[in-house]
Each structure stands twice: as C-alpha cells, then as structure tokens.
Amino acid sequence: MRSTARRGSWTPCVLLLALACAPAPRPAPPASRSPAATTAAPAPSRAERRALHGQAVAAYDQRDFAGCAALFERARDPYSAACCHAQAGNRDAAFAALARAIDDTGRLQGMANDSDLGSLHGDPRWQRELDHLAAVAAERRRKLNPELARLYDEDQADRSASSYEKIDWTVVTPRDEARRKRVDEIVAAGGAVAADDYYHAAMVYQHGNSPDEIQRAHDLAVMAAERDANHDAARWLAAAAEDRKLMYEGKPQKWGTQYKKIDGKWVVWQVDPAITDDQRDAWNVPPLAEAEATVARMNAALNANK
C-alpha cells in the first residue's frame, strides 16, 4: 500500500511510493480498462481523503481487507485499494484498481515485489499490468533527462535489500557520492527541466551524509513541486528532507517523517508539537498518529523476527 513509511505485515504497500499516501484527485482511466470508473463520485476534499486514509490503514491493521479496499477507493488511492482487494481475494477489483493506479502514475517501481499483491502473480492479467506499467513509465520518461532517471534508478536499486541492515554501505556509500557529484554537474549544465528531473535529483541527494547535502535534497524537491503542483511525491520528499536535516542537527523534526532505532527499538524522532496535521497534509505527509502506528508495526515485526 502506498504511503511514506512501511514495515511489518503492512510493509509492501505502505511505503511504495515512498511517497504519496493521499494522492490528489486524478483523471478517471479509460472506460475500456475499468467501466466502473465512469460513474465516479465527486472527489473528496483533502481533509476527507486524509480521514479516509487513516480509517483504511486501521481497517488493514484489523485485517478487514474488504473494508480497507472500500475506504481507499473512496480516498482516490487506487494502488492501496488494489493491495487491499488482492488481500481480500477479490482479483477482478484488484486488477481494475491496479490498472487505474498505473494510468495515474509511472512511479510504482516497487509493484513487482509488493507482497500484498502476491495473490495476483499467478493470474495472466499480472503480466499484462507489469507490461502496462513498463509502457506508462517509458512514455513518461521519454520526456525526462535519461541520465537523471538512471541515477535515480541506481539509487533505489542500492536500497532494495529486504531490510536496511542488509545494505553493504562500504559498497553503496561511494556510489552515492559519485551519483551526487554527477547530479550537480547535470543540474548546473541545465539538464534538469521537468518536475521529475528535479525529483530524481532530489532523491539522490536525500541519501546524502551531511546537513548541507540534505538541504540540497529539500531545495531540489521544492523545485520539482513548483514545476508540478500535483507532484505528491516531490512535496513529501521536500518535507522528509527538511525533517532529516533537522534530525542530523539534533533538533525536533517538523513533519514526522523520520524514524530512528534507539536501543534496538524504532521510534518517531522527536517532533515539533506546533506543527498540525493540516500543515502536514499540505506537504503530503500523513497525520502524526499514522507515523506512530507505523513505528508500532515496525517494532512488532522486529519482535516477531527474534
């Protein structure tokens, strides 16, 4: 399920998007792919979508997958709805929602390995949707800087291990440094034009090692959001980079996107209490209660694996 943080039984779908748990309303997909979508209800407000998303997450945690799917459908989050439909055993609805999600965005890089969709893998329609995703992503990337897209892909691939602890940082860190250097060269030469160009550059810098590098990630993500007001992932990344920089400096984070393992237990890094959930929503960040719930799932997964 798509969101900004995931671990435990909720892991696959919750973080996939690293990045956009409450997407803005998007155009309905072609009727040939999903006839039911032609009678869409009026789009909910951002506040309504945020409330629906929280209810959907709670339903998932209670393993009420049918309820979870219905709530995510109402929240206009088709990818997360597809995950819940798949868990509920409703393949037809899962594939219909998945097709809509792919039409909405080409940023579902983790879809193929998302275990919440595992029940779909034996169906012939699964390969169709993988091909569908590849085609949508290819068309989107055709308009982007190919080298920035490649650097982003390499950055993500280096973090595809099943757990953070399994990443070999002696190998990955030098690669990160080289990618950041090349990003600077491309941006300085005017090679970043589209919102996704700046988003790709920002994500590479998000994995920097100093406050200045994380500030660079924030600035690049803001540039992406300025070029595309509906780029939910860029808005979330801008907030996450700001939080990460504050955490590096030993200060409370603003938005609640950053976690840290302390004494073998995951915690939400201390948060500025003056920031409201309405302010978080403006940057596509879930309510703080969802961050706390995510940490609880992460710790439950740790205990289960002991």
Chain segment 91-137, per-residue pLDDT in tens = 999 999 999 999 887 667 678 889 899 999 999 999 999 999 999 98
Model-wide pTM > 0.85: no
Range with lowest mean pLDDT among 35-39, 117-121, 164-168: 35-39
**Is residue 73's pLDDT more than 90?**
yes
User: In the prediction, which pLDDT does 1 show?
Assistant: 58
pLDDT cut 70: percent of the chain above it? 84
User: What gap in Å lies between CA 57 and CA 291, rounded to an integer?
Assistant: 11
- The tens digit of pLDDT for each residue in 261-302 reads 999 999 999 999 999 998 999 999 988 988 998 899 889 888
Between residues 15 and 296, which one has the greater pLDDT?
Answer: 296
DSSP category for residue 164: G
pLDDT, position 120: 97
Residue 202's pLDDT band, with cuts at 50, 70 and 90, is very high
Of 14 and 183, which is predicted with more confidence? 183
Answer yes or no: is pLDDT of 40 > 70: no
Nearest residue to 123 via CA among 82, 179, 167: 82
Residue that wins the pLDDT comparison between 191 and 230: 191
Residue 178: the pLDDT is 98
Which of 51-55, 151-155, 164-168 has the lowest average pLDDT?
164-168
Q: How confident is the model at residue 13 (pLDDT cuts 50, 70, 90)?
A: very low
- Kindly report the average pLDDT of the chain as a whole number: 85
Residue 50 pLDDT: 82
Exposure string of 100-136, with b = 16+ CB inside 10 Å and e = fewer, is bbbbbbbbbbbbeebebbebbeeeebbeebeebbeeb
pLDDT at 196 over 90: yes
Q: How confident is the model at residue 215 (pLDDT cuts 50, 70, 90)?
A: very high
Q: How confident is the model at residue 41 (pLDDT cuts 50, 70, 90)?
A: low
Q: How far is CA 274 from CA 166, 250, 255, 271, in A?
A: 36, 17, 10, 9
Does residue 184 contact residue 202 with C-beta atoms inside 8 Å? no
Query: What digits encode the pLDDT tens for the residues 238-266?
Result: 999 999 999 999 999 999 999 999 999 99
As a 3-state breakdown, the chain gives helix, strand, coil percent values, each rounded to 5, of 65, 5, 35
